[in-house]
Amino acid sequence: MNIQPINIIHALVIWQSLLFAIILFTPKYNRKRENKFLALLLLTLGIHFSYNILLTNQIFLNILPQYSCSYGFLYGPFLFLYIKFHFRKDLNFKPEYFLHFLPFTVIVLFTALGFRVCHSSMFLVLPLVILVYCLLGFTEIIHYKKVISQVSSNINHSETKWVKTILLLQIVILILNFLHLQLNKIIVFDKEFTLEPLVQLGILVLVNIMIYQGLKNPQFFQKISETDLVNAEIKQSKEKTNKLNLGELNSLAIELEKYMSQYKPYLNSELNLDALAKALEVHPKTLSQTINQILGNNFSEYINSYRIEEAKLLLQNIRDNQITIMEIMYQVGFNSRSVFNNAFKNKTGVTPSQYKEKKQFI
């Protein structure tokens, strides 16, 4: 067997993909439903790169090239479904999701029947298909961020950032691969470079990011449920709210403000729209309408405004210099330092530490 330098990268991808695909299928990790799609994605990568090594060494040339494009039609669906299930709490696999795998099934079936499906034009279509699934992944992120701000008071966007990272990296790999197929070599400072190693290294980096995130269990990551989706469906304009309903919302807004001042439910870091609505004995959608239309905030902004005011009072307490900002953060209902800092700076223009230092010299 002729082992080429590029095969080293292939071997690393195969080893890591297959090993961690098996790990993600174990009971400890497959309880997270999205990990099953990640495991299938890694398994596909491992099989695909095994094909690359065999092809490089001219093994099974009478069979393998006929199926060369089929693997690519699995990457997009598995990545998209992983992202979709990652952000949804009670989502079940629906029969229509099988349609995502129809192109792969058709290619394998027709190839097995002797038809030549994988040809040059198919390799031009494939990047576009994967790109579409990447864009669908971005729509899931946007939708999640829109809904979670309406139903949760403690939002940590670190989960959306890393998902954006793997989607952007996937797009970069697509671009590099397209340039590789078109140009093969580029000239930089009078030296020729092939783009294939960059493509393969990019895939290796992508695999490692997915493995790390698949094994990591975020402590404060909150998914959205079907109930959250319903609660986040707020009317688009005030004109659609009749006078009687508007009066009811104004009354609820007054009741809500009194309840927040008297009982301080915002000090509970687990406070969400459902819990607050239950305490006020109103429907969550009605409460969400009140906060959005009457008070002019989404749920997260509204709750955090009270937490910031509470934090400001504690930070002004110069008699107790032993109290730390982390202690204040937890006392007022935040459970993430980055979320606390961002919310505090957006409200006051300075960080909590800057605010405390400023007040100590007044």
Three-state SS across 151-187?
A: HECCCCCHHHHHHHHHHHHHHHHHHHHHHHHHHCEEE
> 185 pairs with which residues across the strands?
194
Instruction: Please give the C-alpha separations between residue 209 and each of 139, 170, 214, in angstroms, as whole numbers.
Output: 21, 11, 8
Cβ 271 vs Cβ 279: under 8 Å? no
What percent of the chain lies above the pLDDT cut of 70? 87
Number of Cβ within 10 Å of residue 114's Cβ equals 7
Look at residue 238 in the predicted model and tell me its pLDDT. Answer: 44
Look at residue 302 in the predicted model and tell me its pLDDT. Answer: 93
Q: Which fold has domain 226-360?
A: Arc Repressor Mutant, subunit A (1.10.10)
Residue 65 has phi, psi (to 5 degrees) of -55, -25
What is the spatial distance between Cα 127 and Cα 141, in angstroms, rounded to a whole number?
Answer: 21
pLDDT tens figures, 184-234: 666 666 677 677 777 888 888 888 888 877 777 554 467 777 777 766 665
Three-state DSSP class for 192?
strand
Burial of residue 94, with CB atoms counted within 10 A of its CB: 0-12 exposed, 13-18 middle, 19 or more buried: exposed
At residue 237 the predicted structure's pLDDT band, cuts being 50, 70 and 90, is: very low
- Is residue 105 scored above 80 in pLDDT? yes
Give the tokens for residue 144: 């999640």
Q: Which candidate, 88, 100, 97, places its Cα nearest to that of 33?
A: 88
Cβ 145 vs Cβ 300: under 8 Å? no
Give the tokens for residue 169: 């990296």
DSSP string covering 39-93:
HHHHHHHHHHHHHHHHHHTT-STTTGGGGTTTTHHHHHHHHHHHHHHHHBSS---
State in Å, rounded, how far the first CA of the chain is from the last one: 77
- Domain ranges in the chain are 5-215, 226-360
At residue 28 the predicted structure's pLDDT band, cuts being 50, 70 and 90, is: confident
Look at residue 109 in the predicted model and tell me its pLDDT. Answer: 94
Please state which CATH number belongs to domain 5-215. Answer: 1.20.1070
Three-state DSSP class for 109?
helix
What pTM does this model have?
0.78
Chain mean pLDDT for the chain:
83
> 193 pairs with which residues across the strands?
186
Burial of residue 63, with CB atoms counted within 10 A of its CB: 0-12 exposed, 13-18 middle, 19 or more buried: exposed
Torsion 341-344-348-353 (CA) sign: negative
